[in-house]
Structure 1
Amino acid sequence: MVDFTPSSLFSVERLSQLHKALIAIDNTVVHLAALPDTGLAHDHVWISRDTGPDWIARLPKQSQMQLDPETNLEYQANCFRRAAQSGHTPDLHAILPISADFPRGGLLVSAIEGRQARLPDDLPAIGEALAHLHEIAVPPVAARPPLESPHSPWTAMRDEVLAQATYLDDAPIDEGTRRRLDSELTLFNDDRELAERIDAQRCLISFDAHPGNFLITPEGKAVLVDLEKCRYGHPGLDLAHASLYTSTTWDPASYAVLDTATVVDFYRHWWATRHTTNEVMDVEALVATRRAMWLWSTTWCAKWLTLHHQERDSLAQGEDWSAALSEDRLIAHVEDRARHYLSSPVIERVSHDNHRLADELAQAK
Structure 2
Amino acid sequence: MARLVDLSALHRALVRLPGYESVPRQALAALPEKGLAHDHVQIAGTKALLRVPRQSQFAFSARDNLAYQKACFERCQPSGHTPALLGVLEPSDEVPMGALLVEHIGGVVLSLPGDMAGIAACLAAIHTLPLPLEADRPPLQEHREAVSGTLAIIERQTLGLAQAALDKEAADQIAEELVWARGFAAESAQRPQPLALVLSDTHPGNYLRKPSGRVVCVDLEKAVYGAPAIDLAHASLHTSTTWDLDAAASLSRTEIEAFYAAYLDLLPPAMRDALMPWLLPLRRLTWLRSVTWCVHYRVESARARLRDKHQAVSTEDWSSEDVDAALTAHVEGRVADYLNPATIAAIRAEWLGPARLSF
> What letter is aligned with 1:54?
K
State whether residues 49 and 101 of structure 2, in contact with CA within 8 Å, keep that contact through their aligned partners in structure 1: yes
2: CA distance, partners of 1:155 / 1:8: 37
Residue-by-residue CA offset, 1:176-218 (whole Å, 9 max, x unaligned):
2211111111232244563444x53111110000000000001
State whether residues 149 and 232 of structure 1, in contact with CA within 8 Å, keep that contact through their aligned partners in structure 2: yes
Matched, 1:18 2:40: no
- Give 3-state SS (helix, strand or coil) of 2:105's partner: coil
Aligned residue among 123, 130, 141 for 2:123: 130
Matched, 1:331 2:328: yes
| Residues 1:347 and 1:278: Cα distance change in structure 2 (over 3 Å) | closer
State whether residues 38 and 52 of structure 2, in contact with CA within 8 Å, keep that contact through their aligned partners in structure 1: yes
1: CA distance, partners of 2:271 / 2:326: 49
> What letter is aligned with 2:358?
L
Aligned residue among 247, 250, 253 for 2:246: 253
Identity %: 36
**Which TM-score applies when normalising by structure 1?**
0.90
> What letter is aligned with 2:8?
S
Range that drifts further, 273-282 or 321-330? 273-282
Residue-by-residue CA offset, 1:330-353 (whole Å, 9 max, x unaligned):
111111111110010011011012
Residue-by-residue CA offset, 1:33-84 (whole Å, 9 max, x unaligned):
10001110001101123xxx41111111100111110110111100000011
- Give 3-state SS (helix, strand or coil) of 2:101's partner: strand
State whether residues 349 and 355 of structure 2, in contact with CA within 8 Å, keep that contact through their aligned partners in structure 1: no
What pairs up with 1:189-338 in 2 under 5 angstroms? 189-191=182-184, 194-197=188-191, 199-275=192-268, 280=273, 282-309=275-302, 310=304, 311-314=308-311, 317-338=314-335
State whether residues 135 and 203 of structure 1, in contact with CA within 8 Å, keep that contact through their aligned partners in structure 2: yes
State whether residues 167 and 306 of structure 1, in contact with CA within 8 Å, keep that contact through their aligned partners in structure 2: yes
| Residues 1:304 and 1:280: Cα distance change in structure 2 (over 3 Å) | same
Q: CA RMSD in A?
A: 2.1
2: CA distance, partners of 1:41 / 1:291: 25
1: CA distance, partners of 2:141 / 2:272: 28
| Residues 1:190 and 1:139: Cα distance change in structure 2 (over 3 Å) | farther
1: CA distance, partners of 2:32 / 2:39: 8
Q: Shift of the alpha carbon at 1:99?
A: 1.1
2: CA distance, partners of 1:152 / 1:165: 20
Matched, 1:145 2:142: no
| Residues 1:9 and 1:65: Cα distance change in structure 2 (over 3 Å) | same
Q: Shift of the alpha carbon at 1:314?
A: 4.8
Q: 2:112: which partner in 1? A: 119
1: CA distance, partners of 2:199 / 2:51: 17
1: CA distance, partners of 2:279 / 2:312: 40
State whether residues 313 and 320 of structure 1, in contact with CA within 8 Å, keep that contact through their aligned partners in structure 2: no
Range that drifts further, 143-152 or 210-219? 143-152
2: CA distance, partners of 1:102 / 1:71: 15
2: CA distance, partners of 1:92 / 1:15: 20
Residue-by-residue CA offset, 1:232-260 (whole Å, 9 max, x unaligned):
11111111111100111111100101100
What pairs up with 1:55-66 in 2 under 5 angstroms? 55-66=48-59
What pairs up with 1:1-40 in 2 under 5 angstroms? 9-10=3-4, 14-25=6-17, 26-30=20-24, 31-40=27-36
1: CA distance, partners of 2:235 / 2:321: 28
Residue-by-residue CA offset, 1:111-157 (whole Å, 9 max, x unaligned):
00000010001000110000001001122222111111145222111
Q: Shift of the alpha carbon at 1:299?
A: 0.7
Aligned residue among 30, 38, 41 for 2:37: 41
Q: Shift of the alpha carbon at 1:276?
A: 5.1
Structure 1: stretches of 5+ with no match in the other structure = 1-6
Equivalenced residues, count? 350
Matched, 1:342 2:334: no
| Residues 1:271 and 1:325: Cα distance change in structure 2 (over 3 Å) | same
Residue-by-residue CA offset, 1:294-323 (whole Å, 9 max, x unaligned):
111111111111112414245684211111
State whether residues 143 and 224 of structure 2, in contact with CA within 8 Å, keep that contact through their aligned partners in structure 1: no
What pairs up with 1:90-129 in 2 under 5 angstroms? 90-129=83-122
Q: 2:61: which partner in 1? A: 68
Structure 2: stretches of 5+ with no match in the other structure = none
| Residues 1:217 and 1:29: Cα distance change in structure 2 (over 3 Å) | same
